[in-house]
Structure 1
Amino acid sequence: MICARFLAVLLVLLAVGCASGPGGDRGRPAPEAMPKAAFARALGLMDQGELAAAEAAFRSLAQRYPHYSGPWTNLGILAAGRGDHSLAEGLLAAALKANPSNAVATAALATLRYQRGEVTAALGLYQQALALRPAYAEAHLNLAVLYDKALHQPASALRHYRRYQQLSGGEDLLVAAWILDLENADSKTHYKVVRK
């Protein structure tokens, strides 16, 4: 059974794909080489839930502009969202080939590894995503969930949950509840130790 926190991570990952734009590819041709309007339309389709149309638009962009990682990243996220993890990994690999510094693709790949139970690989990829983009809120959230649920390291989980809240404006009530749960569990543990 998938826990609520893991479902939240998947939803965050889908939303994050929308942030992977054409201009984030360092060392590539100028962003004008890929029509920003076409990319924006594809993102709009994705945001509106028109996933088949968004996928067709991203696929067209990826074929016409294979040196940009944004279309490949979003295709990978869409494939992961419908459960085609093998295809998603291939598409995310294409994104990372186009731009090894793509933190969104790196974090998306980490989530796929986490789903397969490859916790150590996922941990390394989330850390890599944060090394590439330290203020990447969603990567902090995903790493917090991994520390919390898979590694049972509440102090590390709290650090990343809190960083996520700080970066995202602190309005995520679900994450605030998770923080409170971990803080309460930690204070109960300390209380028991002190009483003995």
Structure 2
Amino acid sequence: MIFTKRAALWLLVMATSVLVACSSSAPKKSTGGSNKSVAEDAIAAPGASILPVGPATPNPYLQNKPSVSREISQQFADATRAMRNKQWAQAEGLLQKITVANPKLSGAYLNLGLVYRAQQENKRAEQAFNDAIAANHTNLDAYNQLAILQRESGNFSAAESNYKKALSVWPYHAESHKNIAILYDLYLGKSAEALPHYEAYLQLVGGEDKQVKSWIADLQRRLGITAKPKAAEAAPAAVEGESNE
């Protein structure tokens, strides 16, 4: 398979997001995370949410594409394919070669962590996720995967800390909002703190997640909050000489 240089660089940035989405083992209400969402199109109004006011800034992880050789790009693609086929030993070997050749390639450590997770090697997975963050502190998926691992082991304070770190890197990361909301809602009993993060997530994904909408409605009932009714849209005035279809 032959890659152009531009395509190869983009693969290294985006492939981890795809794999995180399909490889996370988080239970109910949990999600691995994705560095790409409709967040960059979102605009927060004053007082409307916990999101910063104004248009979203670009995802910093996607703004810093790594410079790698064609050989490394091919190895990464091969490792990605092996992971999708659950060929864990092959994927692990390829990813280890990549991290030796390019120790600053954060996505390789992230995927290595996912390989270890798939094989129930959680200690090695934790180290790999930490290595991914050390290589690139803007790797939002690495924070989320590490936090999910910590949450599953009962280390809720560490999980909360890593979700917060991800949001400090980029406050428009939808999955970090969703995951910290799940932590507050299901594990820490902090319903009032969960609600604004669910709402921020829903805003960032364009309000299209019906499941999260139901969670928000449930939280509002539990908190005694009356949902604001949607304002009726006024029908446009007919212009003389034109017909309404």
TM-score, normalised with respect to structure 2? 0.60
Letter in 1 for 2:153: R
Residue 72 of structure 1, CA deviation: 0.2
- What is the one-letter code of the residue matched to 2:168? A
Q: Does 1:79 align with 2:116?
A: yes
Amino acid at match of 1:76: G
Cα distance in 2 for partners of 1:57, 1:131 equals: 32
Q: Using the alignment, how far apart are the partners of 1:73 and 1:57 within structure 2?
A: 13
Matching residue's letter, 2:99: A
Name the SS of the counterpart of 1:152 in structure 2: coil
Contact 1:6-1:145 at 8 Å conserved across structures: no
- CA positional deviation for 1:54: 4.2
Query: Are the counterparts in 2 of residues 24 and 102 from structure 1 also a CA contact under 8 Å?
Result: yes
Aligned-pair CA distance for 1:18 = 9.8
Q: Which runs of 5+ in 2 are unaligned?
A: 1-25, 38-59, 227-245
- Whether contact under 8 Å (2:99, 2:108) holds in the other structure is yes
Report whether the alignment pairs 1:100 with 2:100. no
Query: Does the CA contact (< 8 Å) of 2:35 and 2:62 recur in 1?
Result: no
> What's the CA shift for 1:17?
8.3
SS in 1 for 2:138: coil
1:128-143 correspondence to structure 2 within 5 Å:
128-143=165-180
Bigger radius of gyration among the two: 2
Which residue pairs with 2:163 in the alignment? 126
Query: Judging changes above 3 Å, is the alpha-carbon distance between structure 1 residues 76 and 182 closer, same or farther for their aligned structure 2 residues?
Result: same
Q: Does 1:159 find its partner at 2:196? A: yes
2-side partners of 1:182 and 1:37: how far apart? 47
* Superposition deviation, residue 61 in structure 1: 2.2
Equivalent position amino acid for 1:123 in 2: E
Q: Which residue of 2 aligns with 1:31?
A: 67
| Counterpart secondary structure, 1:66 | coil
C-alpha distance in 2 between matches for 1:18 and 1:75: 20
2:130 counterpart SS class:
helix
Q: Following the alignment from structure 2 to structure 1, what is the Cα–Cα distance between the partners of residues 214 and 82?
A: 32
When the two structures are aligned, how many residues end up with a matched partner?
A: 177
Question: Larger % of helix: which?
Answer: 1
Q: Which moved more, 1:66-75 or 1:163-172?
A: 163-172
Give the aligned partner of residue 6 of structure 1: 27
CA contact (8 A) 2:35 2:140 kept: no
- How far off its partner does 1:71 sit? 0.6
Across the aligned residues of Structure 1 and Structure 2, the Cα RMSD in angstroms comes to 3.2
* TM-score normalised over the length of structure 1: 0.74
Give the drift of 1:162: 1.4
CA spacing shift, 1:91–1:177, aligned 2, 3 Å? same
Identify if the C-alpha distance between structure 1 residues 170 and 44 changes in structure 2 by more than 3 Å, giving closer, same or farther.
farther
Compare relative contact order (CA 8 Å, sep 6+) and give the higher one, 1 or 2. Answer: 2
Distance (whole Å) between structure 1 residues aligned to residue 124 and residue 192 of structure 2: 35
Letter in 1 for 2:199: R
In the alignment, which residue of structure 1 is the partner of 2:181? 144
Residue 219 of structure 2 is aligned to residue 182 of structure 1 = yes
Runs of 4+ in 1 over 6 A off after TM superposition: 25-28
Is the 8 Å Cα contact of residues 29 and 182 (structure 2) preserved in structure 1? Answer: no
